[in-house]
Copies of this chain bind each other. A is one copy, B any other.
Amino acid sequence: MESKQFAVDQKKADLEYYWDSYSTINIHEQMISDYTRTHTYEKAINACNIKGKIVLDVGCGLGILSLFAARAGAKHVYAIERAAIGEKAIEVIKNNGFEDVITVIRGRVEDITLPVERVDVIISEWMGYNLLYESMLGSVLYARDKWLIKGGLILPDKCTMHINGIEDQWYYDNKINFWRNVYGFNMTPMRAEVLKEPLVETLNSSSIVTSDDCILTIDINTMKYEDQCFTSPFKIKAFREDFVYGFSTWFDVSFPQSGEVLTTSPYQVETHWHQSMFYLDEPITVAAGEIIEGTYSLKFNDINPRFLDIEISFNFHGVFHSATGTMKYQMQ
């Protein structure tokens, strides 16, 4: 009985390894070749005085941030990775001659034992789509509370999130209203499904119809775990007469000492995070200078905490049009 269970567990582990190795190649290539992301981290690591320091890399992936820290003179780097990609990190670190400086520890941050009591610096690229989707911020906070010395550095340590209003008739017609007539059949039940799901895509900045507003400001040095879930009012002003088909969000993170900023703004260079788009059931017709007020709230799903439940309420009274409503979205 026990050996049968072992066989089943082994098979499951094999499958997980397979799945994992499949997902990692594309994702890690995408992340590493995102120059804005990777090079901003490199500059931020080089610019803070990391020489002789003990560094912890939360979720090291292929180990690129650990390698940057080692190359910048860190005394030792502990690189934690739960996924199978950690095995590749070990190979890569050895191939590059850093096996004495970087120790890869396989496991969850919450489960592992660190060979030292305290670290001087925590580095982590924890941000997910829409900042918090499948993010590792919770693990960074756990590591901060458990291991970071008083006054230690967290890279990055500040973060903001923003919202604006967008025109996107092409997507609305071709991906949302598409379901109204499919080869002569009405498939509107799918339209409701599509609306529920935020779209992660790069926004053309010419689609931006309104000013933006900040909906989240966090300081990773001091924030609590619960601060990841929030409800924030926003107020955005139309630049021109147009239709607002939905809202888009993006985020910036900034680094201590260097002041380096990694932005995913639609006005700046595209990153692999793109922006997140939340479409309305009906567009809002705005005139220049008119204001859309609303609230944006985000929380982890009760059943599957990997999913984000997002709610956007809006309230608009304009010369052409008035509209109020609440849209519910889920990032899965």
Contact = CB atoms under 8 A, between A and B. Distances in A.
A188 B64 contact: no
A185 B102 CA distance: 14
A112 interface: no
Interface in A14-48: 14-15, 18-19, 21-22, 24-25, 28-29, 32-33, 38-39, 42
Interface in A177-231: 178, 182-190, 193-194, 197
Contact of A188 (B21, B39, B95, B186): B95
A32 B92 contact: no
A68 B185 CA distance: 9
Given A19-B332, A193-B25, A92 B303 contact: no
A281 B14 CA distance: 26
A332 B39 CA distance: 31
Contacts of A243: none
Given A18-B307, A88-B193, A186 B33 contact: no
Given A15-B303, A88-B190, A178 B33 contact: yes
Given A178-B33, A185-B67, A332-B19, A62 B190 contact: yes
Contact of A197 (B22, B38, B188): B22
Contacts of A95: 186-189
Query: What range describes how many residues of A lie at the interface?
Result: 35 or more
Interface in A144-168: none
A307 B21 CA distance: 13
A240 interface: no
B186 A92 contact: yes
B332 A18 contact: yes
B25 A194 contact: yes
A108 interface: no
A96 B186 contact: yes
Main secondary structure of the interface of A (DSSP, over half): helix
Nearest to A197: B25
A5 interface: no
Nearest to A199: B26
A11 interface: yes
Contacts of A21: 193, 332
Given A22-B197, A25-B190, A11 B303 contact: yes
A25 B67 CA distance: 39
A113 interface: no
A28 B332 contact: no
B304 A18 contact: yes
A175 interface: yes
A282 interface: no
Contact of A185 (B92, B190, B304): B92
A33 to B, nearest CB: 7
A91 interface: yes
Nearest to A14: B303
Contacts of A197: 22, 25
Give 10 closest A-B pairs by Cβ, nearest first.
A22-B332, A91-B189, A96-B185, A92-B187, A95-B186, A88-B189, A25-B193, A67-B185, A14-B303, A25-B194
